[in-house]
């Protein structure tokens, strides 16, 4: 888009995160994500909207947007915060650090590690 207002409007009105949030409201645990590898940025944000998140043991989670001069834009400030609270979300956003599957499970970011 040629101007920031149009870009913001498109991003907020047509985000797949809105669809996932609506599906989770309707389906609950049946709306699930299975993740593996590097679950970063929008990959983490979108998964966190799901009613159930299962992660492979080798998964790594993080929100690196700030290091790129961005803020989480796929709903991460809502979806991740719902799962782990505002302080842990702030830690992930502001530090750019990643966490392993054990920490993600302990924090409630994932629901199971098969």
Question: Which sequence positions are flagged as catalytic?
Answer: 45, 65
Residue whose token pair is 């983490």: 44
d(CA 90, CA 96): 10
Cα dist from 46 to 17, 27, 33, 38, 41, whole Å: 6, 16, 9, 14, 9
Residue whose token pair is 């996932």: 20
């Amino acid at each position: 888009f040629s101007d920031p207002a149009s870009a913001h409007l498109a991003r907020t009105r047509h985000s797949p995160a809105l669809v996932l949030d609506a599906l989770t409201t309707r389906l609950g645990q049946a709306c699930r994500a299975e993740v593996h590898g590097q679950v970063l940025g929008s990959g983490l944000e979108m998964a966190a909207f799901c009613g159930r998140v299962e992660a492979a043991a080798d998964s790594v989670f993080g929100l690196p947007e700030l290091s790129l001069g961005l803020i989480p834009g796929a709903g991460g400030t809502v979806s991740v915060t719902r799962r782990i609270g505002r302080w842990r979300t702030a830690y992930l956003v502001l530090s750019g650090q990643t966490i392993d599957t054990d920490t993600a499970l302990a924090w409630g970011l994932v629901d199971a590690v098969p």
